[in-house]
């Protein structure tokens, strides 16, 4: 993010990226990070509301996904962004799922079916989405479906 905001310090890139040296070339990446601020300025020149400061890696990812030419201009940065985007999938999601399952599958609930367990876990994981649903609208929809079912029988 510092490179996107023209605050790039490339001295430590090689030591940090030695682990990923087979995927990303640290020397090429250091050179490309100096040009990343140019890409941000080009992106801002096409916007009515420009970015003031890049504070999130997902912002850079969104900018790169908009134009293939930027991915081709800075291929090492693009590889690093792809690598960064895979890290949450491999660790946080799995850990959160097992954590929720441990809370949901208690001794009292050990006899619940897998369908009920999956539904309960989905509700626990996506609590913020569930909180936006009105219980009154769900009840009204249930009643209307049940009423229609009785009429058609």
For 73-115, how does the pLDDT look when each residue is reduced to its tens digit (9 = 90+)?
888 888 888 877 776 555 666 677 777 777 766 755 667 777 8
Token pair in block for residue 8: 């790039």
pTM: 0.47
For residue 137, pLDDT beyond 50: yes
Identify the pLDDT of residue 145.
Answer: 82
Residues 137 and 123 in one domain: yes
Residues 24 and 85 in one domain: yes
Token pair 């081709």 is found at 72
Residues 25 and 81 in one domain: yes
74 — alpha (psi -120 to 50), left (phi > 0) or beta?
beta
| Domain final residue pick, 49, 74, 90 | 90
Helix axes 26-45, 75-90, angle to 10 degrees: 100
Residues 30 and 58 in one domain: yes
Identify the pLDDT of residue 152.
Answer: 47
For 116-132, how does the pLDDT look when each residue is reduced to its tens digit (9 = 90+)?
878 888 888 888 888 88
SS3 call for 7: coil
Identify the pLDDT of residue 89.
Answer: 56
Mean per-residue pLDDT, 56-62: 82
- 74, 25 contact by CB (below 8 A): no
6 — alpha (psi -120 to 50), left (phi > 0) or beta?
left
Q: How far apart are CA 100 and CA 43, in angstroms?
A: 40
Residue of higher predicted confidence among 1 and 103: 103
Identify the pLDDT of residue 96.
Answer: 74
For 23-44, how does the pLDDT look when each residue is reduced to its tens digit (9 = 90+)?
777 778 888 888 888 888 888 8
Q: How far apart are CA 82 and CA 90, in angstroms?
A: 13
Residues 74 and 27 in one domain: yes
Residue 79: inside a domain, yes or no?
yes
Residues 98 and 120 in one domain: yes
CA dist 85 → 9, 54, 62, 81, 90 (Å): 22, 17, 12, 6, 10
Q: How far apart are CA 16 and CA 113, in angstroms?
A: 47
Q: How far apart are CA 63 and CA 1, in angstroms?
A: 13
For residue 1, pLDDT beyond 80: no
Token pair 């023209």 is found at 6
């Amino acid at each position: 993010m510092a490179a996107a905001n023209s605050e790039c310090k490339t001295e430590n890139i090689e030591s940090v990226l030695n682990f990923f040296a087979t995927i990303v070339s640290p020397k090429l990446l250091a050179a490309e990070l100096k040009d990343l601020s140019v890409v941000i300025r080009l992106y801002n020149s096409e916007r009515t509301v420009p970015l003031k400061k890049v504070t999130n890696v997902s912002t850079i990812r969104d900018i790169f996904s908009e134009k293939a030419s930027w991915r081709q201009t800075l291929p090492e940065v693009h590889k690093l962004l792809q690598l960064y985007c895979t890290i949450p999938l491999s660790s946080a999601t799995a850990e959160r799922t097992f954590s929720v399952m441990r809370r949901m599958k208690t001794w009292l609930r050990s006899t619940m079916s897998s369908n009920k367990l999956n539904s309960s876990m989905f509700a626990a994981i996506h609590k913020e989405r569930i909180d936006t649903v009105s219980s009154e609208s769900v009840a009204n929809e249930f009643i209307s479906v049940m009423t229609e079912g009785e009429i058609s029988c």
